[in-house]
Structure 1
Amino acid sequence: MSEVTLTTLHTHCAASVPLRRCLLCPNLAEALFAHLEVSLLATPWRQGHRIQGRVLEGDWGWGISPVYRHSVSLSLAQLSATVFRKEGLEAWPQLMQLLQHSIHSLHVPEREMGLLLLSVVVTSRPEAFRPHHRELLRLLNETLGDVGSPGLLFYSLRTLTTMAPYLGTDDVPLVRMLVPKLIVAVQILIPVDEAKACEALEALDELLESELPIITSHLSEVLTFCLEVARNVALGDAIRVRILCCLTFLVKVKSKALLKNRLLPPLLHTLFPIMAAEPPLGQLDPEDQDSEEEELDVGLVGETPKHFAVQVVDMLALHLPPEKLCPLLMPMLEEALRSQSPYQRKAGLLVLAVLSDGAGDHIRQRLLSPLLQIVCRSLEDPSQVVRNAALFALGQFSENLQPHIRSYSGEVMPLLLAYLKSVPPGCTRHLAKACYALENFVENLGPEVQHYLTELMECMLQPLRNPSSSRAKELAVSALGAIATAAQASMLPYFPTIVEHLREFLLTGHEDLQPVRIQSLETLGVLARAVGEPMRPLAEECCQLGLGLCDQVDDPDLRRCTYSLFAALSGLMGESLTPHLPRITTLMLLSLRSTEGIMPQYNGSSTFLLFDDERGGEEEEELAEEDEEEEDDSEISGYSVENAFFDEKEDACAALGEISVNASVAFLPYMETVFEEVFTLLECPHLNVRKAAHEALGQFCCALHKACQSCPSEPNTAALQAALARVVPSYVRAVTGERERQVVMAVLSALTAVLRGSGSVALQPPGRLAELCHALKAVLQRKTACQDTDQEEDEDQPLTWPCRLNTTPCCWSMLVRPSLPWPLRPGEMPLPPSLPASCHYCSARRNRAAQWQRSPLRWGRWRSPFRAWVPPRPSLCPGCSPCC
């Protein structure tokens, strides 16, 4: 009988490493029978209650080594959680009694097991504990006060993490009492186990993200704690980076409270030394190395405190008025830029780079000339570290300070060309940084690029004609796209030569030239947009080539670039693309549905012995290695997705939207399926995918309206009305509820296009106009989720109109009113006090030669310096973008 029981247990619990360890115990079968000695008619909660009762009381009696006790207890807690999910508190009233009894026990191990059970059960069904929040919060207030038991503190914070999203206004006073104890608990956990302290900090993240006014009254304490940890160089990078992540989020959601409580000076004084920290003697920061292993770039995304400190400044610039931030920042910036230390100067340049994004208006109007002079002088700095930072700053200036910076081309272009020629052969990472700055500056020059076209083309064609590394060829091909964006028809004399080189790379089968092939696909799409009609004879060949490559090569980046090419070709081919639409839409639908690249993240706590000695560690490690491949989905705590697959989904959405408009009626047979797949991506956790999905849905509506005009029919009209009935309400929800500004800006832009294209049809049925007006009023009054809405902090603060989302006053008058068949009645929509004739966000982009812009990966995140060409993105602000 014992053998049968053991076999059955092993079959049903094969995924549980802790239980399999217990199966090695010779006395296990007898012990299980003793503990499971209940009637066959007993209900599940009674069985779970008896098992947990024995465990919580410490009545082991199994002969199991103490090193496994935590793992067994966790497995039994998970079993209890499974029973609880089925039964609920109503059918299992003894659970709360058991928890109260164990957590108030005088025996510390029993208290730890009680809190472990509580954290697991609450995680399994958090909404069931809403009626007991006050009781649980009082309980956590007691357990977080036990500073001598790290285990109690950890499980208390894990329980609080789960509860936080479900808290209500009545719970606020009790939760506020926990914030100081939360800080103390994490301080205690850090020297015990930094990894567990990082996990415990999720509780702080959840409280910060809550819409309830919980953190504000303790903001100074929270900031002081974060700064103490961030500046402590004796701690590991992981915990310091985790704290800086908390600071970034704190700035995002509490920027006005930081300003009101005068907490910016200590924050900035802490960040500058972190950003200016020197690497160990004889080493360089990863981004300053010139390794030929390009894969190194991918692993540098914010891995060090230095990089995350820069991101905190970036967030400050995005969420604070520059008139408040710059007077505090500039003295520190000036001191850093004049320092003898190259790393101080590097830090100053990095700050300038990120300031150009959030404080772009302020810099354009008051500081552009002196700051640009500083950056240009830094390009000739004796330290390569400083020159690298200057190139990044110049690239960011070129991207964010248009069109004003274009007037300095006479000073900037000779410097960039000279720098590009001075890079030694083989230093591809330095060459990449130079190309990043050059591309960003050149693509915005427009007709003025003709003064430098000959020299630019000579520089870029040389690596393609002569033997050079594949990375150098890839950079040159990408730069050709930037030049084409600016030069447009002026590229025609070089067009045959460029096409021949691209054809050569696209047809090659060499594995080492795969990045060049991918870049060639993107540049080919850019050429199609730039030169237009001369590309038409090659359109069919390019389409066949792209489809063939997708069949031959399984690579998300290649598919992404091919989708961009198809979108560009659709503008030339129109309905001539019809024969290829079945294969094109099938490929893109597979990308939208694909789960490739999604990797499960397993619940580490199921095999991690917390706060215990290391006896039996070697044996446990061997068991873990044997069982690693057999873990069950029940232990999966989450998923991570490689960025390339998110990019593929994003670009598939963008390409489908553009193709639907260009192919018009020919796309209708695929519209319903494509629409449904894209609509599901509105819930995607990746903001760029959500943004692309919203934009594509707007383009689908424009495509349907276009089809109704060219081919009127009842089915087409019904399809348009059905699409609008889902898209417009989803836009209203996104404007008011979406937390990411970039997504909301994209939604406003798409909404503008839909309203202009569809007119009064988009405002049916009655009541939709009122919903739109209410949402847009919320934007103007800064009451949306993505704007800094903290009712406690600044009720008396005057309404301000920052660029981009928080103020798009020049976009306002074009957003709804031109789309309405009747004038707005007084009082229907409050207009801002004054409307400038234009905003810098619009003027920086409306002069671009191409409708769509290239978007390199921000070098500030320390990835590869740029991400080639991406599919089309609207280049204007929400109110000024053209309809599709």
Structure 2
Amino acid sequence: MEAIVAKLLVPNSKTIEQGTKELKDAFKKPEAVPALCDVVVGSSNAEIRQTAAVLLRRRLGKKSHWNRVEPEVRKRIKQGMLQALVNENVKTVKNAIAQFIGILGKHEFPNNTWPEVLQFIHTLCGSNNPLDKELGMYALSIMTEISKDSYIIHLESFAMLFNTTFNSLTALNCDLAYYTVLTMKHLVPIIAGHQQMTTLYYNLLPRILEIINAYTLDSNSKKECEMLELLEELIECAINVIVPHIRLVVEVCLSIGGNKEASDEVKIKAIGAMQKEHLIEPIIDAMIKVMSQKPNLEGGDNETIDAEDYYQGDPDEYTPTTIATQTLDMIALHVPPEKVIPVFLSRIEPAIQGNDLYAQKAAYLAIAVLAEGCSEYIRKKYLEPLLKCVCGGITSSNLSVRNAALFALGQFAEHLQPEISQYAAELLPVLFEHLSDIYKQVQTEGSLPSSLDRIFYALETFCENLDKGLEPYLPTLMDRLFTALDPNHWSMQLKKMGFDAVSSAASAVKEGMLPYFPRILEIINIYVNADPTSENFHVLCDALDCLAVIAQTIGNDNFRPLAQETLQLGLRILDNSTDPDNRRAAYALVGALAVVLKEELSPVLPNVVEQMIGTIQNDKDGVDLYDDSESDNEFEEDIEIASSTTDDSEQCKYMVENSYVDEKEQACRTLKELCANVGAPFLPFLEKSFQEVFKLLNFPQDDMRKAAVDTLQEFCLMLNKVNTEEGKQGLYRALQMLIPKCAEIIRADEERQVVMCALDAYANLLEELKGEVLVGEGHREAIMNCVIDVLNLKTACQDADLETGGDGGEEETEAEQDELLLEYAGDVIPKFGKAIQPDDFALYFPNILTLVGNRTKKRNSESQRSFSYGTLAECMQPLGLYINKYIEQLMKLWFAGAKDSSDEVRNNSIYGLGEMVLHGRECVFPYYPDILQALSTLATKESHVGTLDNICGALAKLIIANSSLVPLEQVFPAFMERLPLREDFQENEAVVKCFYGLYQQGNVVLRQHLEGVIKVIAHIYANQQTSNDETKQIVMEFLKIMNRDFSQEFANAANSLGPTVTESLQKLLST
């Protein structure tokens, strides 16, 4: 038998095949199992002993196989394996034997036919020899992992064993402690209902936490993570053990999470344990308590105390408040807002009304962390009261409170758009006033307060989101920013923030920045031409970034006179500078100039593209650190017979992020800009660029992966514009690389933003390239299977550790960030449908209807219901006449949505109903009376402007599809009363086509309302309320026909619309 096992380990396929055949033949004889046992006990080769034990476990894994062994032989095997476990010195073999014993215990325990094994364990654990104790608990840890339920009847004896073992520990970070915690972890799922064990776990939890904490600096992070899993198991299965110790649990997890000596794996595990739903409320309490404590930072003065970073920064400088804030942020991101916000608010209000300043600071930080993860919920229900609360904090005389409130305002400005912009008139003057106060402080004290970055953060986010709405505040804002940019003052930080704010303002107002353009250029030139030895030279990259933004936003004609000079500046920096920050800024400048110069940039492409490719290839962005320590070499439970037992060292790669990474990312994004704007002259560089950027899809930094996806899809769009066979083949080759890679990213990438970027790439490519995307083999399946996986919550970024708990079924409510991911997936579906034939799309639609339709139910959030109805509505066009198969189901769906309490849901439901009518045609005709009655009832009750517009759109589509089935004498007057549309101008396409179709038919009812129809069409034209060129063309043609055929009615209608519309019509008719 030993010779047969040896053949399985020879690195030769024929020998392995021969050994496998011989083993199968041997297993036909009853003596094979005892023979393998003899190999486990007697072979001198550790690999052979280990493989024999694995083969025994696999062979006897089923109870029926074990029962076929003669009772006497079974007895001998059980005795022999216990002795082998004691005698074995090689850990991998010992582990395999223990796993085999665990399998045998699983078979024997239900009938209590192997009491000796537990006696054996208790004897070892009760020994005075530390090695015997360790062996006993080690064996029990393996056995309980193999089979938990078998040990229910032995829990009382285990309770005594664990208690005795913990009391006998001489050191906390020893293997005996580790194996005991591991065993307890395995038994957690079966202790529910067993009061003695629950009490034991409760009593021992502080001791367990001491052991976990003691292992933090242990070189084996695997052990630490395994022990932390005990907390996760308790949270899931026995939360009553955890809650009384919640503060201690949180303190230990925070301590580990903030320990710079601990491995990232351990820190992530520790923080992750606190993000389970059952712990949400006690953790929020504990985190706010941590955040309410006065920071114990070096220096002790107010400025130093307030300098702690709430969110990011150097992990080596994390404080308890940093970790606590990040933990609350994770809760807000991954737990449904309706479960989180009430808990937060019940803690925030008393803190703000109280006198404890640090509790107030914690309350404002708590408000800040809600902004991203619960943005939609806050915008709809809590924006005004929370905003008033934050404004109160901004005026606080206490620096810590004021800074936290300013931070919250910045978070609001970033995440609560567009609603937050409605309060700009109240908020911006407050920020301007604070900025003026800070300038005075700088002049008198010569130092910058730590609140400065919070104010600029809030200002920038407001600027970025107000767009043209910023213009009334621009004079005051620019006055403050020019003060910050004064080259003669000493603060580099203030100058950098000033340039960033100017960039944000320029992005918002665009050509509205023209009055300040000369002064901005004058200031930028000072920094660009600064002496390299001066401090102002350190602001060069910030000045270049600002110049790049202005070049893109001020208007091509306005910047063109400066474009060539600016281009030479960028090239000079690229040719002469090795500083990665300055090179990154120069790349951004070249990318911006591509927008202005277009093909005029082509002469410099060989130089700049070569440099960008070199930057992308540069390996200065990171350093490889290899872990050469020996592995535990533990066998997996389902090891293949022919698997090699050689254990390769796992290579661990760590990324050191630095300025070279930023330079590389910008090079990638600038290649995208060159491709999009320079056009055909970029083609000679496209293949090499594609190859190098494609490699970045495996880059550790998520922003880099996003940049690579964005750039590669732009390359594909460019190839599609090349009207040659060579261009088409190049496109197919590119898609054959990109489509499968995006599928891999969607399934395996752990960062939601990267996955959303890949889904967005699918949507964009399908929209632009249509069926070309699907030519490659397997592309259809790759795209749709990924979408289905996202909808089924099966991707890596939808990690179960971050789910909200429960049974994981479709009734679970997702957090807002999860919902956004689903919306990206949903956006792909109709675009995929439009890229294929209706009969092909009909094959996918049943699954889509089930998965998306389930999310229209009231148990789902408003955004989920809205997204689901919207997605299904967009599917009507690609489904076409196959709507007939689902008409009953769809009718119920639309009518249910039309009664929803949410404006958005009703809006999308009515839109879907109209789309079904338009594209279903004949199959919908029998349902016209029901639809007309429903629309009539809805119109009388509806107050939401967008939904009323969609009711008009649906009625127009009914008329387009079959006007003979619509009682126009009764319907058309009510239809005209609701026009023109006030919000959803996309539906003007249906309105215009409805009018045009009736006119071509010579419809009498239309003739009776001709002046009203002309007014509506003229209003649409004058206010540019058409959603596409086709509709605009119909509008212009229709107006000209009306003027020609019914000049008097046309003149009457036009004169009643005011001089602006009349002038617009005159211009149209004169062309």
The normalised TM-score by structure 1 is: 0.68
Q: Which residue of 2 aligns with 1:187?
A: 209
SS in 2 for 1:702: helix
Tell me which amino acid in the other structure corresponds to 1:445: L
Aligned with 1:765 (options 773, 776, 790): 776
Structure 2 partner of 1:63: none
The one-letter code of the counterpart of 2:503 is G
Correspondence for 2:866: 835
The secondary structure found in structure 2 opposite 1:598 is coil
Distance in 1 between residues matched to 2:280 and 2:427, nearest whole Å: 34
Deviation at 1:325, TM superposition (A): 1.0
The 10-residue stretch of structure 1 (180-189 or 469-478) with the greater mean CA deviation from structure 2: 180-189
Partner Cα separation in structure 1 for residue 190 and residue 760 of structure 2:
43
**Secondary structure of the structure 1 residue equivalent to 2:351:** helix
**Aligned-pair CA distance for 1:411:** 0.2
The correspondence for 1:231, drawn from 247, 251, 262, is 251
Q: Does structure 1 residue 782 correspond to structure 2 residue 813? A: no
Report whether the alignment pairs 1:794 with 2:813.
Answer: no
Cα pair 2:406 2:454 within 8 Å, conserved: yes
202 and 464 in structure 1: CA distance in 2 versus 1, 3 angstrom threshold: same
Q: Distance in 1 between matches of 2:694 and 2:701?
A: 14
* Corresponding residue of 1:627: none
2:117 alignment counterpart: none
The alignment-based identity, stated in percent, is 28
AA at the equivalent of 1:270? A
What is the aligned partner in structure 2 of residue 631 from structure 1? none
Distance 1:810 1:742 in 2: 13
In structure 1, the partner of 2:427 is 412
Q: What is the CA-CA distance between 1:223 and the residue it aligns to?
A: 7.6
Distance 1:313 1:465, change over 3 A: closer
Structure 2: segments with no counterpart, 5+ residues? 1-43, 50-87, 99-120, 151-157, 192-197, 631-648, 857-864, 871-902, 909-982, 984-1071
More off after superposition, 371-380 vs 457-466: 457-466
Q: Tell me, what secondary structure is at the counterpart of 2:654?
A: strand
Q: Does 1:588 align with 2:599?
A: no
- Post-superposition Cα deviations, 1:402-424, rounded to whole Å, max 9, x if no partner, equal 00011111101110111110101
Kindly provide the amino acid, as one letter, of the partner of residue 497 in structure 2.
Answer: L
Shift of 1:475: 1.8
Q: Are 2:348 and 1:328 equivalent residues in the alignment? A: no
Q: Which residue of 1 aligns with 2:291?
A: 275
Q: Structure 1, unaligned stretches of length 5 or more?
A: 1-43, 50-91, 119-129, 164-171, 607-633, 848-884
Select between 525-534 and 149-158 the one with higher mean Cα deviation: 149-158
Q: Quote the residue 2:330 is aligned against.
A: 315
Change (3 A) 1:513 1:599: farther
Tell me, yes or no, if structure 1 residue 487 matches structure 2 residue 518: no
Pick aligned residue for 2:358 from 314, 322, 343: 343
Q: Contact 1:198 / 1:239 at 8 angstroms: preserved in 2?
A: no
What is the CA-CA distance between 1:640 and the residue it aligns to? Answer: 4.1
Tell me which residue corresponds to 2:712.
697
Within 5 Å, give how 1:405-444 maps onto structure 2. Answer: 405-423=420-438, 424-425=441-442, 426-428=446-448, 429-444=450-465
1:824-863 aligned at under 5 Å gives the runs 824-825=841-842, 826-827=845-846, 829-830=848-849, 831-832=852-853, 833=856, 834-835=865-866
Change (3 A) 1:697 1:45: farther
Q: Deviations over 1:188-216 (max 9, x none)?
A: 44675653399467524996999xx9984
Q: Is 1:251–1:319's contact at 8 Å kept on the other side of the alignment? A: no
Q: Which whole-Å CA distance do the structure 2 matches of 1:596 and 1:205 have between them?
A: 37
Measure, in 2, the Cα distance between the counterparts of 1:157 and 1:589.
Answer: 54
Cα pair 1:477 1:519 within 8 Å, conserved: yes
Structure 1 residue 584: Cα displacement: 2.3
Q: How does 1:510-529 map to 2 (within 5 A)?
A: 510-529=533-552
Once residues 657 and 414 of structure 2 are traced to their aligned partners in structure 1, the CA distance between those partners, rounded to angstroms, is 26
Are the aligned partners of 2:234 and 2:242 in contact in 1 as well (CA < 8 Å)?
no
**Cα RMSD after superposing both structures:** 5.0
Paired letter, 1:658 = E
C-alpha spacing 1:322/1:813, structure 2 compared with 1 (3 Å): closer
**1:803–1:226 Cα change, 3 Å:** closer
Q: Does the alignment pair 1:815 with 2:825?
A: no
- Aligned pairs for 1:185-584 within 5 A: 187-189=209-211, 192=214, 194-196=216-218, 199=221, 202-204=224-226, 216-217=236-237, 227-231=247-251, 238-239=258-259, 245-246=268-269, 248-250=271-273, 254=276, 258=277, 261=278, 263-280=279-296, 283=300, 289=306, 299=314, 303-423=318-438, 424-425=441-442, 426-428=446-448, 429-465=450-486, 467-469=488-490, 470-508=492-530, 509-533=532-556, 534-584=558-608
Question: Contact 2:756–2:824 at 8 Å: present in 1 too?
Answer: no
Instruction: For residue 813 of structure 1, report the CA deviation from its aligned partner.
Output: 6.5
Mapped partners of 1:588, 1:160: distance in 2: 56
- Equivalent position to 1:725, from 736, 739, 761: 736
Q: Find the aligned partners of 2:253 and 2:179 in 1 and give their Cα distance.
A: 30
- Deviating more after overlay: 307-316 vs 529-538: 529-538
Q: Return the alpha-carbon distance in structure 2 between the equivalents of residues 520 and 408 of structure 1.
A: 31
- Shift of residue 800 of structure 1? 4.6
Q: Is the 8 A contact 1:357 1:396 kept in 2?
A: yes
Deviation of 1:474 after TM superposition, in Å, equals 1.8
CA–CA separation in structure 2 for the residues paired with 1:688 and 1:472: 26
Contact 1:240-1:305 within 8 A present in 2 as well: no
Deviation at 1:370, TM superposition (A): 1.0
Task: Report the residue type matching 2:819 in the other structure.
Answer: N
CA contact (8 A) 2:500 2:542 kept: yes
State the Cα deviation string for residues 602-641 of structure 1 (Å, max 9, x = none): 76989xxxxxxxxxxxxxxxxxxxxxxxxxxx99965340
Offset, 1:659: 2.3
Mark the CA change 1:384 to 1:519 in structure 2 (over 3 Å): closer, same or farther.
same
Size of the aligned set, in residue pairs, is: 697
1:177 CA drift (Å): 8.9
Asked if the contact 1:681/1:690 (under 8 Å) is kept, the reply is: yes
Q: For residue 489 of structure 1, report the CA deviation from its aligned partner.
A: 0.5
| SS at structure 2 position matched to 1:642 | coil
- Larger RCO: Structure 1 or Structure 2 (Cα < 8 Å, ≥ 6 residues apart)? 1
Q: CA deviation at 1:361?
A: 0.6
The structure with the largest helix share of the pair is: 2
Q: How far apart, CA to CA, are the structure 2 residues paired with 1:772 and 1:747?
A: 10
Partner amino acid for 1:582?
P
Contact 1:450-1:487 at 8 Å conserved across structures: yes
Asked if 2 retains the 8 angstrom alpha-carbon contact of 1:237 and 1:305, the reply is: no
Tell me, yes or no, if the aligned pair for 2:246 and 2:283 is still in contact at 8 Å.
no
Matched, 1:737 2:768: no
| Compared CA separation, residues 465 and 788, structure 1 to 2 (3 A) | closer
* Residues 224 and 760 of structure 1, relative CA distance in 2, 3 Å threshold: farther
Give the superposition deviation at 1:381.
0.1
